[in-house]
Amino acid sequence: MVDAPIHRRFGDFYRLAALEPEPARVELRWKSVLTISSSASVDVWLDLLRFLFELRPHTDPAVKSLRDACFSHDATFPSEGAEVELRVLTAIAVLHGLDTSEKFALPLALGLLAGDCRGHRSLGPFASLLERAREVLAQRAVAVRSRDRLPVPQDLKGVAEFTKSLDEFKKQDQPTTIRDFAHPLFTVLQSWHRDTHKQTVQMVKKANHAIDVLSEESNILWWLLSEHCQELRQPVAAIPAPVASIVLARELAQLAQFVPAPHASQAFLARLIKQAVPAAGPTTVGEAVVALDAAWRTALRSDTLSHRTGDLSPILVAITKSLDGDKVSDWQTSYQKATRLSPTITLDPQSLSQQMLDELMLARSVAEL
């Protein structure tokens, strides 16, 4: 367990849930948060997010691991109940993960935004986590695409010593052995080889990273200028907006070289969706999904990595469920049971597209760990 000072929002989160932290137990609860933060796998983190969204009960194994962490530091912690305090501690752990975890900050941020489903689910008093998630994604999207200048090769070590040994050799009156002369030579050559190899590897990595960034920028630029949907092989102007929203999000996810997607993704998608055929009125998630070609949905179900993100990815779940059952009502009932969302919820085309992109990026961030 990595020690860290108590998070400055620790007391605030307790009070948001109408609880007052007991001064004598604050340190113990914080140690519990650090314990679960340092030991949780990505699947445990996803289940803790589900608990925050009330998709899992407090008896879920992931929540039990948090309860066990509390009990390990405070033997008086309740073995049952205490659901409100467990939710508070989960929210604090997630916030701590967003702030400090190099490994899990991305899946946590994307899981929060995808799980929220553009406000159709609620984090209750902990809605501020969404804003922090957006900040993390914005920072990471910029940082992962930063292009440093290639380093200037450094002077190789040992050159001065080698020159000095040659000068001393020239001044000698007595002949020396080849071994006495060759030893400093090969010592310096070995050092040169080691240093040049290290510098070359660093330069190649930076060069490849810059190429990947430029490739992503170029591909997205041509994609935007073409105003053409590659997967459906149609101009965007010929595609209904709800369909374009989902398919274009997938195309952008495929063009993205890094996770998360570019910070300007929302603007990219909005620019293309404006070219699509406007919907006659508000479109439900169910209507948008069944409007997609069945073959396209089948291919997506085969390719997607969303089996681990599950109900945190409601659009991907809808696409998968829509292929099951003979009647529309069959899959909609199954969908509602799996996600606790109604297939009749509405999302405007831009929100639907961003939701789809977040879900695809979430699945990818989990798969890449």
Q: What is the DSSP string of 20-67?
A: ---HHHHHHHHHHHHHHHHH--HHHHHHHHHHHTTSS-TTSHHHHHHH
Say yes or no to pLDDT of 108 above 80.
yes
User: Percent of the chain beyond pLDDT 70?
Assistant: 88
Say yes or no to pLDDT of 289 above 80.
yes
Contact, 111 vs 45, CB < 8 A? yes
Q: How far is the CA of 71 from the CAs of 58, 68, 175, 208, in angstroms?
A: 15, 5, 79, 49
Task: Tell me how crowded residue 77 is: count the other CB atoms within 10 A of its CB.
Answer: 19
Say yes or no to pLDDT of 175 above 60.
no
Task: Give me 267's structure tokens.
Answer: 């603007």
Q: How far is the CA of 354 from the CAs of 118, 166, 206, 227, 266, in angstroms?
A: 9, 67, 31, 18, 6
Task: Give me 330's structure tokens.
Answer: 């069959």
Say yes or no to pLDDT of 166 above 70.
no
Contact, 287 vs 331, CB < 8 A? no
CA-nearest of 143, 355, 129, 95 to 260 is 143
Residue 307 has a pLDDT of 81
Tens digits of per-residue pLDDT, 80-95?
Answer: 889 999 999 999 999 9
Tens digits of per-residue pLDDT, 310-369?
Answer: 999 999 999 999 998 767 778 999 999 999 999 999 999 999 999 999 999 999 999 998
**CA geometry: angle at 270 spanning 268 and 275, to 5°?**
105
Tell me, rounded to whole angstroms, the distance of Cα 140 from its chain centroid: 9
CA distance 331 to 333: 5
Q: What is the mean pLDDT of residues 175-201?
A: 70
Q: How far is the CA of 213 from the CAs of 106, 141, 142, 292, in angstroms?
A: 19, 11, 11, 31
Q: Among the residues of 229-324, which ranges form H helices?
A: 241-255, 265-273, 285-290, 294-303, 314-321
Task: Give me 161's structure tokens.
Answer: 């010593």
Could you tell me the residue ranges of all domains in the chain? 10-143, 159-217, 227-367
Task: Give me 75's structure tokens.
Answer: 């033997």
**What are the φ/ψ torsions at residue 235 (nearest 5 degrees)?**
-65, 145
Residue 31 has a pLDDT of 95
Task: Give me 167's structure tokens.
Answer: 């000068």
Residue 66 has a pLDDT of 95
Residue 3 has a pLDDT of 80
DSSP-assigned letters across all residues of 85-124: HHHHHHHHHHHHHHHH-TTTHHHHHHHHHHHHTTTTS--G
Length of the chain: 369
